[in-house]
Structure 1
Amino acid sequence: MASGTTLSASAELKPVLIVGAGFAGAVLARSLADAGLPSTVIDARSHVAGNCHTERDPVTDVLTHVYGPHIFHTDAAEVWAYVTRFADFMPYEHRVRTTVGTRVYSLPIDLLTINQFYGTAMRPDEARAFIAAEADPIPAPANFEEQARSTVGVRLYEAFFKGYTQKQWGRSPKELPASVFNRLPLRFRYDGRYFSHRFQGIPREGYSRLVERILEHPLIDLRLRTSFAREAATGHGHVFWSGPLDEYFDFRLGRLPYRTLDFEHFRAEGDYQGCPVMNYADPDVPYTRITEHKHFAYWEDHPQTICTQEHSRAAGPTDIPYYPVRLANEKALLRDYLSLAGTVDGVTFIGRLGTYRYIDMDQCIAEALTTASTYLDALKAERSMPAFVQSPL
């Protein structure tokens, strides 16, 4: 870890330029600063924390996840120790509900969901045998739909996955790889937790305050509302880019496609839906889910509430990118950009956007710590820094 690495007093400490004040950029900057290396961190937005940004709603005073809900979860003890160094985390286990037709179910699919859906009271072994009999006998599932049908059967697939997936990705589940479905848990026990990691929680004061504290160091020069210009790299020892990979190259090979989200906020008195997140699986419901933000901060008391509907669509040139598509054509374009990045000296691409991957917060932090260590080691050995510390493929 970079926090255990320091540079000698005689080393030439040229500051680095870090583009982006999300977790990737902030953790990298702090790790380098703790080792004695200064940095300039710039971000075009008016706030830190990127899409994890949280702020108080001016009407309800509810702490709001501005760009969609974020729950911190990890099995990495060192990452948990890192974030709890900068913030007081409240225990929180995420539980999602989904509306199908006129009924509400627990998600992900567990023994409760199965018994709810089929109107049964099966025990684990009975449910396992029942679902096995429901499943389609597809020997080598080639896509999301075939994998789902071969795992849970047609009825559960069409109720919970088909419509939601179509809305989220804007294409038929037959066009998505089978691996996408394999990331979704199926439990034959009563366990409604969305994540099963050892460490789970939400920072009491929100993610933006957490990132602000990470960046509070005399060797970190934070500049918000500042867009990247190539001449800004002058005088810096290295550039770490956490923006979109294709944007760094002015999209010269074409745009890497993303899904983006449109948010519709509304307020109400009391408690609107009784849970933090309600998914809507039916294809005729235009949004994918509704977030009720005050349920994330259960330790607070608010008489009013603010909720957010999410609508997924293809990202345009001016939209905020959220989910990389990463199908066959997109991966081919990604490989071309990786080859191009390999020809650039003095730049390393980091984070979710810089590596065109969807990674969780804990992964982003762990990779930023590794990147800092790699850079400090490169400085000491007087060798060049690679364009990618973690392979995007």
Structure 2
Amino acid sequence: MQVLLVGAGLSGAVIGRKLAEAGHSCRIIDSRDHVGGNCYTERDAETGVMMHVYGPHIFHTDDEEVWSYVNSFTEFLPFQNRVKATAQGGVYSLPINLLTINQFFNKTLRPDEAKAFIASQADAAIVGPQTFEEQALRFVGRDLYEAFFKGYTEKQWGCSPSELPASILKRLPVRFNYDDNYFFHRFQGMPRDGYTPMIEGILDHPSITVELSTPFTPDMTAEADHVFWSGPLDGFFGYAHGRLGYRTLDFERFTYQGDYQGCAVMNYGDRDVPYTRITEHKHFSPWETHEGSVCCREYSRAAEPGDIPYYPIRLVEEKALLGEYIAKAEATEGVTFVGRLGTYRYLDMDVTIREALDTADAFMNCLAKGKTMSAFISSPM
């Protein structure tokens, strides 16, 4: 089969590699001048620090097959994300844990005492929380909510937490021990040389051709037996029904001689601080030593045409519009929509890779059985 894959990020690379290994001819195009999508990394010319150009990407998973897959293309070294937060004049550990609680309330509580104390802070009058704000108040109370959630969320989403669904705060991150590892997954790490060499390794196959700085044009579909689209779902249809809502990020880069903040990620919970966090990139590669440092202040705003979309908003208006595009996609033959943009879902890297592997398997299974490949293997809704 002649397969066209639009996007040289994780989805396109993984699907293309698996299909190429099965004997298919894969053409991968990308409008950017590099592979890797938002996972792209490169050395900073001034300091030598490995930069996560589109914001930090930390690999974490419980999927052993996916962990083995990425390790077959590069060497991953141990890394645990230990986030700090500046709020109301103090610096605290995130996610909220026993140290955070004791520091914030100036107490020396043991785990059971802390559980009882937080329960006393929670708003028990809220039953079946419907909004982000209600969810937070119901489980941690107003003081912790206003310090660590309210201002940060307003900046991140551009609206009040009372307007956001409770599902955004699916599992309130509160721990009653001193574990400050941000993620729960058993496999966590960073590629020693950054993500770009890993993705280049995945793409390194004689049956894969990669064309960069090559925007998609509709006539390309006539040259392919099947298309895998990892660009914006609404973009495939020329935004015919309007644009789906996204948040985007602006990065304010600055350098520092020495260690600027002592950690990779510092959140800023106060509403009067305009940025959501500062990332110090050399701390994402703790096995390296650099005198100089590169940091980025992150500002979140609504994505406009021409911006790089990061987070799907998925509020009521977007879900209604999403339904129209899903129906349009399902009526389109020969195209499968994949990845974060193609399915309008926020996906971690490990889930993106898992779905890409499963998509390639589903495609080959359809070929073997003479069936038509579906537009989605995971419902965007």
Could you tell me how far apart the structure 1 residues matched to 2:222 and 2:134 are?
53
- Of the three residues 24, 33, 37, the one matched with 1:50 is 37
Deviations 1:293-320 (A, max 9, x none): 0001111111100000000000001100
1:216 is aligned to 2:217: no
Could you tell me how far apart the structure 1 residues matched to 2:115 and 2:223 are?
62
* 1:97-112 to 2 correspondences below 5 Å: 97-112=84-99
1:61 is aligned to 2:48: yes
1:388 is matched with: 376
Q: What letter matches 1:188 in structure 2?
A: F
2:178 is matched with: 190
2:188 is matched with: 200
> How far 1:329 sits from its partner (Å)?
1.3
2:72 is matched with: 85
SS in 1 for 2:159: coil
Could you tell me how far apart the structure 2 residues matched to 1:183 and 1:52 are?
26
Q: What letter matches 1:355 in structure 2?
A: T
2:120 is matched with: 133
Could you tell me how far apart the structure 2 residues matched to 1:34 and 1:111 are?
49
* 1:374-385 to 2 correspondences below 5 Å: 374-385=362-373
1:176 is matched with: 164
Could you tell me how far apart the structure 1 residues matched to 2:50 and 2:12 are?
23
> How far 1:184 sits from its partner (Å)?
3.7
Could you tell me how far apart the structure 1 residues matched to 2:136 and 2:172 are?
10
1:164 is aligned to 2:152: yes
Runs of 4+ in structure 1 off by over 2 angstroms are none
Gaps in structure 2 of 5+ consecutive residues? none
> In 2, are the aligned partners of 1:145 and 1:178 still within 8 Å (CA)?
yes
2:10 is matched with: 23
Q: What letter matches 2:12 in structure 1?
A: G
Task: Please give the root-mean-square deviation of Cα atoms over the aligned residues, in Å.
Answer: 0.7
Q: Tell me the TM-score normalised to structure 2 length.
A: 0.99
- Of the three residues 111, 129, 151, the one matched with 1:124 is 111
Q: What letter matches 2:211 in structure 1?
A: R
> How far 1:235 sits from its partner (Å)?
2.6
* 1:252-267 to 2 correspondences below 5 Å: 252-267=240-255
Could you tell me how far apart the structure 2 residues matched to 1:183 and 1:312 are?
23
Could you tell me how far apart the structure 2 residues matched to 1:334 and 1:51 are?
23
Gaps in structure 1 of 5+ consecutive residues? 1-13
> In 2, are the aligned partners of 1:293 and 1:306 still within 8 Å (CA)?
yes
Residues 106-115 or 184-193, more deviating: 184-193
> How far 1:96 sits from its partner (Å)?
0.2
* 1:269-280 to 2 correspondences below 5 Å: 269-280=257-268
- Of the three residues 316, 320, 326, the one matched with 2:304 is 316
Could you tell me how far apart the structure 2 residues matched to 1:183 and 1:247 are?
32
SS in 2 for 1:160: helix
Could you tell me how far apart the structure 2 residues matched to 1:162 and 1:47 are?
37
> How far 1:234 sits from its partner (Å)?
2.3
1:94 is matched with: 81
- Of the three residues 27, 37, 55, the one matched with 2:24 is 37
SS in 2 for 1:153: helix
SS in 1 for 2:320: helix
> In 1, are the aligned partners of 2:44 and 2:51 still within 8 Å (CA)?
yes
> How far 1:182 sits from its partner (Å)?
2.5
2:217 is matched with: 229
2:332 is matched with: 344
Q: What letter matches 2:52 in structure 1?
A: H
Could you tell me how far apart the structure 2 residues matched to 1:218 and 1:377 are?
23
Residues 178-187 or 91-100, more deviating: 178-187
Could you tell me how far apart the structure 1 residues matched to 2:303 and 2:375 are?
26
Deviations 1:348-374 (A, max 9, x none): 000000000001000000000000001
SS in 2 for 1:371: helix
SS in 2 for 1:86: coil
1:4 is matched with: none
1:331 is aligned to 2:314: no
1:5 is matched with: none
Deviations 1:5-60 (A, max 9, x none): xxxxxxxxx21000001001100000111111110000000111111110011100
> In 1, are the aligned partners of 2:136 and 2:172 still within 8 Å (CA)?
no
